[in-house]
Amino acid sequence: MAASRPFAKLHLDVAGLGIILYSPFAVAHIAEGDDYLQAQFWEPEAVAKHVMACGLTCFCTGSPGRYRLSFIQACPPDDVVNRATLKLRLGIEVRDSTVCVRDLYDLMDWSAECPEGQQVKLADGFYRITVLSATPRSGITGDNQRITLYFDQVKKKPQLRYEGVPSLLPDGT
């Protein structure tokens, strides 16, 4: 099977230790200027609850840095998943054809305004997201690290099981 081509690419400079993804409806309850990270997204159990709800979802990168994200609308082939050294599964509900991709630390002083360069367009519905990556050649997490996110549209909310924060680290912590 030939590899699918990305429908979007973006570079994201991350100051925190993770990346959040959401459709704007999922964060409409967060007031401008709120420290949602400390209030509602700090404890691992709270993060897991958000992730399993498929609204505001996230994953831990383990390091600040520059991440080069590619978005593919497909289910990744098994051989591609098997070759990836860093991988995890997420879910998301998309409304208004918009997915925002931001630094986790944006939750510390919330602004609903998602920069245009950090938005990707997808048809409304539920998606299972397969996140694949590898440690950069430099050995430094976040050193222009490539991350590919496969969005596979599904009929209902994906069933996920997390007890803590989804992690894209070699040891899964």
Convert the pLDDT of each residue in 125-158 to its tens digit. Answer: 999 999 999 999 999 999 999 999 999 999 999 9
Whole-number pLDDT of residue 173: 45
Q: Is the pLDDT of residue 2 over 70?
A: no
160 touches 90 (CB < 8 A): yes
Whole-number pLDDT of residue 23: 98
Whole-number pLDDT of residue 4: 81
pLDDT tens per residue across span 99-123: 999 999 999 999 999 999 999 999 9
Q: Please state, in angstroms and rounded to a whole number, the distance separating the CA atoms of residues 81 and 20.
A: 22
Strand partners, 103: 19
Q: Is the pLDDT of residue 172 over 70?
A: no
Taking domain 8-154, whether its CATH number is 3.40.1380.10 is answered by: no
